């Protein structure tokens, strides 16, 4: 049975977020990408707590595409240490799963 994932990353640059979204969609590595603005992120960086405004990028994909998706995202990312988190989806409607399959070119 196919496994599906929500993949997340953040960036402080809207153009980078849009580029990531467009490339992964055009390469069919994700069926959908959400870019959420005005995310207030607090994190440790080089010994200090940093507070920054970021864009959260959320991608929906299939398990077999995770490594290719990660490679593409990390190549385009503008951060020295880019976030790439893949979370398995535990409960997914059959129709949404079929849509992800179709839009990521899954061949049966």
Residue 108 falls inside a structural domain: no
Dihedral pair phi/psi, residue 20, rounded to 5°? -60, -50
Query: 83: domain range?
Result: 4-103
**Over residues 68-75, mean pLDDT:** 98
Residue 47 falls inside a structural domain: yes
pLDDT in tens, 28-64: 999 999 999 999 999 999 999 999 999 999 999 999 9
**Over residues 22-27, mean pLDDT:** 97
Percent of residues, the chain, with pLDDT higher than 70: 97
pLDDT given for residue 107 in this prediction = 63
Residue 31 falls inside a structural domain: yes
Q: Is the pLDDT of residue 108 over 60?
A: no
Ramachandran sector of residue 13 (left: φ over 0; alpha: ψ -120 to 50; beta: rest): beta
Maximum CA pair distance of the chain? 50
Q: Is the pLDDT of residue 84 over 70?
A: yes
Q: What tokens does 24 get?
A: 């992964």
pLDDT given for residue 106 in this prediction = 75
> How many independent structural domains does the chain possess?
1
Residue 51 sits in a domain whose CATH number is 3.30.70.120
Q: Is the pLDDT of residue 1 over 70?
A: no
Q: What is the mean pLDDT of the chain?
A: 96
Residue 10 falls inside a structural domain: yes
Residue 98 falls inside a structural domain: yes
**Over residues 3-25, mean pLDDT:** 98
């Amino acid at each position: 049975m196919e496994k599906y994932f929500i993949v997340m990353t953040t960036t402080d640059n809207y153009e980078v977020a849009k580029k990531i979204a467009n490339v992964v969609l055009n390469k069919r590595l994700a069926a959908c990408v959400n870019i959420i603005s005005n995310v207030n992120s607090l994190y440790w960086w080089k010994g200090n707590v940093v507070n920054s405004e970021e864009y959260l990028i959320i991608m929906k994909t299939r398990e077999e595409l995770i490594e290719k998706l990660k490679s593409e995202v990390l190549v385009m990312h503008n951060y020295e240490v880019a976030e790439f988190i893949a979370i398995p989806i535990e409960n997914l409607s059959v129709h949404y799963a079929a849509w992800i399959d179709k839009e990521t070119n899954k061949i049966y």
